[in-house]
Amino acid sequence: MSALAIETEALTKVFGKGSNTVRAVNGIDLKVDKGGVFGFLGPNGAGKTSTIRILTGIARPTSGRALILGEEISPDQQNAKRAIGYMPEIPGFYPAMKAIDHLVFWADFYKIPTVEARNRGRDLLASVGLGEAAQRKAKDFSHGMKKRLALAGALINDPEVLILDEPSGGLDPEGTIFFRRLIDEQKQRGRTIFLSSHLLPEVQLICTRVAILNRGELVAVDTVEELARKVTSRAPVRVHVDCQPLSQQQLALVGAMPGVTGIAFHPNGVLVSAVPGTPLGYPLNRALMDAGVRVEAFYPLIPSLEEVFLELISTGTKKGGSR
């Protein structure tokens, strides 16, 4: 049995012919360890959907291959498909069909007996907060309820690998928090969650590792913290200081420090910026103290995942293949 939940080898997907070809996925090598939540990020048109369609066995690659738990997946490969639960960005439902009947219907694709499917379906609906809506028709469901039903459907076959495409898309803050909890519960159960999302603050909260795709190529694969560290090494240094209001003399002293490029005020103090690589921390703290400034809090600002994402997309350095 493979130690990897998902693996791709030179995965490529080309659409069109001749001079009209579009290389949606361009030879990506990706390794996703078992367990945890893996974020799959990229701007619109980056190739995320094409990759997910291959990983779920819906589409075939033009070249290369994709493996789920060590088994190559394709539209004809049923064993690998049974290990996957898939929640598409825009799930489809039969409007007049009840929620529980959707789950029984989907379970039939996995040869799950009807009685077992109905019992499992009721448990899943309860776990996603739809226990009292089992007999309601899909046409009467709100957007958030449909998202929950789609997640229950993705779990009906008790998959080892859960692939979620924009699970929190279009949800209000309450719904987003609810889905965050559901995803964490699935992680605690030992499932591997492969998550594609545009909600970068949400990804930063729940993902153990992320991959960033741009124009069909991997530009980064790492933990959020390590990506932020790499970006920080070439980004402007920023230090947030909570302190008393600075006098003009004190401001001039800070502004004259080597490497300092700007000082911005915030309600509790100042934000000091400097050129990349400037050792600003200790010298700034020492200068403020020597100037008689009472410092209440002092900490460097680490780039958010959104800032990391934008920086890596703009530089576009290819770094595929790491876990």
Residue-wise pLDDT tens digits, 159-170: 999 999 999 888
- Distance, CA of 258 to CA of 38 (rounded, Å): 41
Residue percentage of the chain with pLDDT more than 70: 97
Say yes or no to pLDDT of 79 above 60: yes
- Per-residue confidence band for 38, with pLDDT thresholds at 50, 70 and 90: very high
Residue percentage of the chain with pLDDT more than 90: 57
Would the pTM of this model clear 0.85, i.e. be above it? no
Q: Mean pLDDT over residues 248-266, rounded?
A: 89
HSE-CB for 62 with a 13 A CA cutoff? 15
CATH numbers and ranges of domains, the chain: 4-83+159-230+310-315 (3.40.50.300), 236-302 (3.30.70.100)
Strand partners, 63: 12
Q: Which whole-number Å values give the CA distances from 73 to 66, 88, 182, 307, in the listed order?
A: 6, 18, 27, 35
Q: Alpha-carbon torsion 141, 146, 150, 155, what sign?
A: negative
Write out the H or E segment, with its range, that includes residue 107: helix 99-108
Please answer whether residues 194 and 88 qualify as being in contact, where contact means their C-beta atoms are separated by less than 8 angstroms: no
Strand locations in the chain, DSSP E?
A: 4-15, 22-33, 37-41, 63-68, 71-72, 84-87, 161-165, 192-196, 209-214, 217-222, 237-243, 260-266, 269-274, 295-300
208 versus 100: the higher-pLDDT residue is: 100
Q: How far is C-alpha 63 from the geometric centre of its chain's CA atoms?
A: 26
- Distance, CA of 215 to CA of 42 (rounded, Å): 9
Among the ranges given (12-16, 271-275, 280-284), the one the predictor scored with the smallest mean pLDDT: 280-284
Tokens for 153, please give them.
């459907």
Predicted local confidence at residue 1, as pLDDT: 59
Q: Which of 267, 263, 266, 268 is nearest to 248 (CA)?
A: 263
Predicted local confidence at residue 127, as pLDDT: 95
Say yes or no to pLDDT of 294 above 90: no
Say yes or no to pLDDT of 73 above 80: yes
Tens of pLDDT along 53-69? 999 999 999 999 999 99
- Distance, CA of 292 to CA of 296 (rounded, Å): 13
Predicted local confidence at residue 222, as pLDDT: 92
Strand partners, 242: 269, 297
